[in-house]
Amino acid sequence: MAVLPILQLGEPRLREVSKAVDPAELPQLQGFIDDLIETMKAANGAGLAAPQVGTLLRICAVHVQDNPRYPYKPNFPLTVFVNPVITVLSDATESVFEGCLSVPDLRGRVDRFMHVRVDALDRHGKPFSVTAKGLIAGTFQHEFDHLDGLLFVDRVTDSKTFCTWANFDAFHKPAFVEEAFAITAKYRD
């Protein structure tokens, strides 16, 4: 397994639409998927999409386990999504601070749907569905946006909310942690 370099904002591949994976090719992609997961873990990411490491295929990994970058985010088991399709199940949205491993030292507020279903293939090509509420639903939207060449900065509607990570910690974190816990309580099953 290898930790891969993560492309940074301005790299043209981050702006391309990734191709659907032919399930017949998944046996040859297992090593890549292991590297994607390893890279996400090494960077303390909550998720990582294949185009972020320069592979323009519709694959991403999500894993939240007591994440130090997002300490308010509920845990979610390691899941690999191949060719994910997201369906919004409710109009409800919340404004949440996001960051991205491809956007150095910047956070900003994005409105995300709070109840979604995802239909995808697992890393071996088996179809599965997952329904998500709350902050993890937003994480899925963030990761799947990468597959369409979109970054969270494109979704920030109020540019005054942009801040560095240090200034997030200094000025916004305590209030947002309260908001995040309220969101988690509000959308609990």
Active site (annotated) includes residue 94 = no
Task: Tell which residue, 81, 94, 95, 92, has the closest CA to residue 147.
Answer: 81
Cα Rg, the chain, nearest whole Å:
16
Exactly one of 100, 120, 137, 156 binds Ni ion (CB under 5 A); that residue is: 100
Nearer to Ni ion, 100 or 180 (CB): 100
Sign of the four-CA dihedral 90, 77, 52, 45: positive
Rounded to an integer, what distance in angstroms lies between the CA atom of residue 180 and that of residue 168? 14
Residue, CB closest to Ni ion? 100
CB of 126 to Ni ion, least distance (A): 26
The stretch among 14-22, 69-77, 98-106, 160-168 that binds Ni ion (CB under 5 A) is: 98-106
The stretch among 32-40, 55-63, 97-105, 158-166 that binds Ni ion (CB under 5 A) is: 97-105
Q: Which of 16, 38, 94, 143 is catalytic?
A: 143
Rounded to an integer, what distance in angstroms lies between the CA atom of residue 121 and that of residue 101? 24
* Residues found near Ni ion in the complex (CB under 5 A): 100
